[in-house]
Amino acid sequence: MLSRIAESLFWIGRYVERADSTARILDVHVHLLIEDPWADEREVCRSLLDVMGVSESAATAGGVDAETVAGVMDLLAYDTVSPASITSALSAARENARGAREVVSSEMWECLNITWHALAERRAASARLGPHTFFRYVRDRAALFEGLTASTMSRDDGWRFLVLGQALESVDMTARLIATRAVTYGHSTTLTSLLRASGAQEPYLRAYRGRLDPAHVAEFLLLDRLFPGSALFALTVAEEQLTALAPDTGRLGTSDEARRALGSTRAMLEFRSADELLSDLPGHLDLLRGVAADVSSAISRQYFRQVALVQWERERLS
C-alpha cells in the first residue's frame, strides 16, 4: 500500500472519530446548562475549552467570547479554521477521502461528501431549533460512516489503518472527557451527562446496577474490557491492528516503537488496580493523551512518507 493512501485512511479514521466525540461532548455540556439550574456557564465554557485542548487566552485572542456557550460553540462546532472544531474535522476527513478514492468505497465517499455539503444548512437549522439538531446530525452521520466502513471495506491493510486511527483518537478523546471536572463534581446530573457523552450510560447502569459513583464512572471508562468506548478497549484494538500490519518474526520482544508504547500502556491499565489508577487520575489521563500523541508520531515515522524541506542554494557563477 502506498504510504500516501495509508496516511489518508489513518486520518480519516481520526477525524471522523474526533467529530463524533466532539459532538457528544458539546451536546452534553449544553444539556447540562439546561438541566442543572446551578451550573455556572463560565465554568462549563472553561471545561469545554480544557477538554478540547484550547486555552481560554487563545480563544479570546481569536475573537471568541470564551465566557458564553454561544461563543464556545462557534469555535468548537462551526469554525472552519480551528482544528478543534467539528466542521474542520469533517472537512479534513472529506479531503483525505478525496485523496484516497481508489481504496475508499463509493458509499463511504458519498457519506462524507454529503455530510460536508449539508453542514452549512444544518448550522442554520440549529440557530432555529437549537444546537442539539446539529450534534445529532453529526453523530448519526459518523455512525453511518462507521457502519459503511464495516460493511463495504475489505479487511486489508487499508481498513487496519483506518481502524487504527479511530482507536487512537478514541483513547485521546476518552481521556479528555474523563479529565473534565465533571468527574469531580460528583452529583448525579453531571455524572449522567458524562456517561451520555461517551455513549456509556446504559452499559454502565447495567454493569453497576444503577449506582452512580464518580470513581466507578472513571473506572468504567478507563478499564472496561467489553465497552468499545473505554480507553482499555481502544488501546487493545490499536495494538491488534499494529500487530496485523507488522507481525513479529524475531525471537526477542518487538522492535515496533508504537506497539511497545501501546502494549506497555495497555498492561499498565489492565494489571494495575482501580484504586491505584484513581489515586492519581489526572496523571494517568495525561499519560494516555501523551501516549496517543507519541504513538501517532511513531506510526507516521514508520509508515508514512517523510518529506524533507527543500534546501535552496545560490547558484555559483564561474
Asked if residues 11 and 93 have their Cβ atoms less than 8 Å apart, the reply is yes
- Backbone phi, then psi, for 248, in 5-degree steps? -75, 135
Q: How confident is the model at residue 36 (pLDDT cuts 50, 70, 90)?
A: low
Domain boundary among 132, 153, 174: 153
User: What is the pLDDT at residue 314?
Assistant: 52
Residues 158 and 30 in one domain: no
CA gyration radius, the chain: 21
Tell me if 99 is assigned to some domain: yes
Domain boundary among 113, 129, 153: 153
Tell me if 248 is assigned to some domain: yes
Query: CA 39, 40, 44, 45: dihedral to nearest 10 degrees?
Result: 150
Asked if residues 67 and 74 have their Cβ atoms less than 8 Å apart, the reply is no
Written as nine digits, the cell of 27 is 451536546
User: What is the pLDDT at residue 147?
Assistant: 96
Is this model's pTM higher than 0.95 or not? no
Tell me if 178 is assigned to some domain: yes
CA distance 299 to 119: 31
Residues 61 and 130 in one domain: yes
Q: Which residue has the higher pLDDT, 141 or 217?
A: 141
- Residue 106 above 80 pLDDT? yes
Most confident of 133-137, 181-185, 254-258: 133-137
User: What is the pLDDT at residue 186?
Assistant: 47
Domain boundary among 138, 153, 168: 153
Residues 175 and 92 in one domain: no
Tell me if 19 is assigned to some domain: yes
- Residue 188 above 70 pLDDT? no
Most confident of 17-31, 155-169, 197-211: 155-169
Question: In terms of C-beta distances under 8 Å and separation of at least 24 residues, what long-range contacts does 197-206 make, across chains too?
Answer: 197/24, 197/25, 197/27, 197/28, 198/24, 198/174, 198/229, 199/24, 199/229, 200/227, 200/229, 200/230, 203/227
Residues 248 and 294 in one domain: yes
Q: How confident is the model at residue 152 (pLDDT cuts 50, 70, 90)?
A: very high
Residues 187 and 199 in one domain: yes
Q: How confident is the model at residue 307 (pLDDT cuts 50, 70, 90)?
A: low
- Residue 215 above 60 pLDDT? yes
Range of the domain at 212: 154-304
Tell me if 318 is assigned to some domain: no
Tell me if 316 is assigned to some domain: no
Q: In 36-105, where does DSSP find H-type helix?
A: 41-51, 56-61, 69-73, 86-99
Q: How confident is the model at residue 218 (pLDDT cuts 50, 70, 90)?
A: confident
CA distance 156 to 174: 27
